[in-house]
Structure 1
Amino acid sequence: MFLLNRNASHRRPLDPIDAETLGVAGADTVERFLSHRDNHRMTPLHALPALASEFGLGAIHTKDEGFRLGLGSFKALGGAYAVFRLVLEEAGSRLGRLLDVADLDRPDVRAVAAAMTFACATDGNHGRSVAQGAQLVGARAAIFVHAGVSEERIAAIARYGAEMIRVHGNYDDSVRQAAQVSADKDWTVVSDTSWPGYERIPGLVMQGYTAIVREALRQLPRTPTHVFVQAGVGGIAAALAGHLATVLGDARPTFIVVEPARAACVFAAAQVGRPVKVAHGQPTVMAMLECYEASPVAWRVLARAADAFMTVDEDEAIAVMRRLAWPAGGDPVMVAGESGGVGLAGLIRAVADNRADLGLDGKSRVLVINTEGATDPHRYAELVGMSPTDVLEGKMTAEATA
């Protein structure tokens, strides 16, 4: 499915609160917080010249979030960042003074954090970020996981000391239960999706993701003409599209949102002009994107800043995982999880079916995001036919013999 953005708000300025959240000042705050993380490193940007030549494009670059903050996913940027901000706000309120990231290790701030519990629903990656953030500041975490979350992903979250709470149903069911239980227990919900009356914290999570596009703009030789980004509830797509719209204005690249055909909630919102719940049918292999209702805050941004919406099928997502593991023509090897290469899968589909609609030609400079590495190594090996370790070792062997 493919749809150009025909909403009345398309290309209008962002809502002022979204412009503030996703603009330069917000991104500056994120970078200041990241500078205090011991394992923070700018993630790599890879050029794919052989693939670009095959598709008749000027350039393709992939920002590889599989190395982000030791968690293997872009989600490392959002949940932990929101936890840090919320701890400092609560501590500042109780202690009667303004606090910043350098104060997180102060005994009086950690005493406040120790009395706080942060909760969220997750497909896997967001929960790891919230749990890691809570552990780093000395708070508690309660993570709600639905039936589709693999045991390997659950174990990866539990390593950070989080209480794991299993929920029958899908991701949206876990979101509702997390909100209900947290209200009863006075826990702080750090969700990456929003609902009426609950927008600020998802906005902070999205703000954390602006680090990706800010880094990419510094790393790229030229500003991209097209950006393809995958969506679950829409948070990362909205963060990147909103930052580009705020910083570049009318000179921003064409922005395309890509989703699984089996869970296309942002596409459905684009069709009717508002978030709606889509039917939950057969699960998608793109586990981190299996969401059935778009975040209202994310949609508010994407209605203005996205230019097209499209879906990809199961086999296309798996084919991209394999293609990145065994690239042609000397392109770099990359490990992409089931949801990691979906933006690239969208580009491949668009080159075949929507080249003219999107103005893709020999001058196009395309940016895609590998949003995750092999966050479930067993599942990765099942789909690719080789473990992520073996894929990367093959890359290192090739580099050593080159």
Structure 2
Amino acid sequence: MLHHNANARRGRYDDSLREILNIQAADESRAWLSTWEGLNAGSTPLWDLPDLAARLRVGSISVKDESNRSALGSFKALGAPIALIRLIRRLWPDQDFVPAKLTAGHYKALLQDFTVISATDGNHGRALAAAARSIGCKCVIVLHRHVNDERRVAIEQLGAQIVQIEGNYDESVKEVARRAGEHGWHVVSDTSYDGYETIPRDVMQGYGTIAAEAIEQRDKGSYTHVFIQGGVGGLAAGVVSYFAEHDGDRRPQCVIVEPGQADCLFQSAVQGQAARATGSVDSIMAGLACGEASPLAWHFLHVLADVFITIPDDAAIEAMRIFAAGSERDVPIVAGESGAAGLAGLIQVAGSAEDRAALGLGMESNVLLLNTEGATAPELYRQLTGLRADDVLETQQRWLGQQKRL
């Protein structure tokens, strides 16, 4: 299903938006994160997939591979840590905490009784737990019943206290608020709600790193389209706002991709305001299984997202397999179920003459996809693709070796 956003605009980046998300703060966040040992050094790869581009009849397909961002395996490693750094600096303004020293644990003695809490579908909680361990504070993560056991164990191994509930993601958010109020803990969430916008803003600002790197790495001219995973909207807002400020009226068309049963952003576009999903919110794309749009993220997507589409779960699974298979000219890529959603959306649009025309998608198009996660749940990845993630990575290394010899 596809919906055009009649409110989307191009041109000069609005000052009211710049006051919230801007390139200066995004680049500062990027510099601070570059010193954290929890991230791999340098930019994540931008893979070119010429065979897939030819198959889908577009000019080029570039994939920003966030599975390489850190051992955590997802883009969330950019959001939670920077939000935690900025929160601590706000709470202790007289301490003048140095970000690089914070993430290196220099202030552990001062922060050992400080506790943060968050709900998660897996990746945000894992990133927050990793950052809290580095900094030396305590971390509590609330998981709902749909979170895969592999993801729970991964968070526990980072030292976080786990609380599990029977409800869905939105109910875990409510449980976080209750426990934070009861114990005096600080919520570090990637979704906003009434009276809670500063930390989600910081999370989104961290995601601007992805756009900054993609702009630096592009060598085929400007991107014409970027397909971005939905969720609550934070990733999309952080990325497209950076493009909008940097590129102005030449910014790429922003296409938001969501599971059909977790269509909160699609419904927001239809209703013209931050809205709830209409489905069960029970998707194999766990990172996108969100029932309610972030109002702060929607503030940006309302005017910067051009198209909203929904996809079925089996489309994401097929996209995972396509990424993994690679080809003679396309590098094999490990993409988790949410990480492959952008490709699934592109395939869906590319297969419809009407949708292609509506998006202006053709042989002059330079498409950017975001692989937002690798095999963050390895056994689930094997079940869905029939492949071991380690085997795909070995094939990737052989492919890269062959390219060097050519």
Tell me the SS of whatever aligns to 2:255.
Answer: strand
> CA separation in 1, counterparts of 2:14 and 2:182?
32
- The equivalent residue for 2:133 is 135
Letter of the structure 2 residue corresponding to residue 251 of structure 1? R
- The equivalent residue for 1:85 is 86
| CA 1:17–1:185: 2 relative to 1, 3 Å | farther
- The equivalent residue for 2:52 is 51
Aligned length: 398
Are the counterparts in 1 of residues 176 and 187 from structure 2 also a CA contact under 8 Å? yes
Residue 257 (1) aligns with residue 256 (2): yes
Tell me the SS of whatever aligns to 1:256.
Answer: strand
The alpha-carbon deviation at position 167 of structure 1 amounts to 1.3
- The equivalent residue for 1:4 is 4
Letter of the structure 2 residue corresponding to residue 88 of structure 1? R
Letter of the structure 2 residue corresponding to residue 24 of structure 1? I
The alpha-carbon deviation at position 112 of structure 1 amounts to 3.1
> CA separation in 2, counterparts of 1:344 and 1:391?
18
> CA separation in 1, counterparts of 2:397 and 2:27?
35
| CA 1:394–1:103: 2 relative to 1, 3 Å | closer
The alpha-carbon deviation at position 11 of structure 1 amounts to 4.3
- The equivalent residue for 2:32 is 33
> CA separation in 2, counterparts of 1:113 and 1:134?
10
The alpha-carbon deviation at position 313 of structure 1 amounts to 1.1
Residue 164 (1) aligns with residue 162 (2): yes
- The equivalent residue for 2:73 is 72
Tell me the SS of whatever aligns to 1:70.
Answer: coil
Letter of the structure 2 residue corresponding to residue 114 of structure 1? Q
- Pairing partner for 1:200 from 198, 201, 208: 198
Letter of the structure 2 residue corresponding to residue 32 of structure 1? A
- The equivalent residue for 2:143 is 145
Structure-to-structure mapping, 1:117-128, within 5 angstroms:
117-128=115-126
Are the counterparts in 1 of residues 36 and 100 from structure 2 also a CA contact under 8 Å? no
- The equivalent residue for 2:300 is 301
The alpha-carbon deviation at position 23 of structure 1 amounts to 1.7
The alpha-carbon deviation at position 102 of structure 1 amounts to 3.3
Tell me the SS of whatever aligns to 1:233.
Answer: coil
Letter of the structure 2 residue corresponding to residue 235 of structure 1? G
Letter of the structure 1 residue corresponding to residue 3 of structure 2? L
Are the counterparts in 1 of residues 331 and 399 from structure 2 also a CA contact under 8 Å? no
The alpha-carbon deviation at position 105 of structure 1 amounts to 6.5
Letter of the structure 1 residue corresponding to residue 30 of structure 2? E
Are the counterparts in 1 of residues 4 and 307 from structure 2 also a CA contact under 8 Å? yes
Letter of the structure 2 residue corresponding to residue 190 of structure 1? V
> CA separation in 1, counterparts of 2:16 and 2:88?
22
Residue identity (%)? 42
The alpha-carbon deviation at position 193 of structure 1 amounts to 0.5
- The equivalent residue for 1:331 is 330
The alpha-carbon deviation at position 195 of structure 1 amounts to 0.3
User: C-alpha offsets along residues 11-42 of structure 1, whole Å, 9 cap, x if unaligned?
Assistant: 48666464234322111211221221134321
Tell me the SS of whatever aligns to 1:31.
Answer: helix
Structure-to-structure mapping, 1:284-299, within 5 angstroms:
284-299=283-298
| CA 1:155–1:106: 2 relative to 1, 3 Å | closer
Letter of the structure 2 residue corresponding to residue 366 of structure 1? V
- The equivalent residue for 1:377 is 378
> CA separation in 1, counterparts of 2:248 and 2:111?
39
| CA 1:339–1:108: 2 relative to 1, 3 Å | closer
| CA 1:181–1:18: 2 relative to 1, 3 Å | farther
- The equivalent residue for 2:366 is 365
Tell me the SS of whatever aligns to 1:262.
Answer: coil
Are the counterparts in 2 of residues 87 and 112 from structure 1 also a CA contact under 8 Å? no
The alpha-carbon deviation at position 90 of structure 1 amounts to 2.1
User: C-alpha offsets along residues 43-71 of structure 1, whole Å, 9 cap, x if unaligned?
Assistant: 10000001111122111100000011221
> CA separation in 2, counterparts of 1:150 and 1:106?
30
Tell me the SS of whatever aligns to 1:366.
Answer: strand
Are the counterparts in 1 of residues 104 and 135 from structure 2 also a CA contact under 8 Å? no
Are the counterparts in 2 of residues 20 and 26 from structure 1 also a CA contact under 8 Å? no
> CA separation in 2, counterparts of 1:70 and 1:136?
14
Tell me the SS of whatever aligns to 1:22.
Answer: coil
> CA separation in 1, counterparts of 2:99 and 2:389?
35
Tell me the SS of whatever aligns to 2:70.
Answer: helix
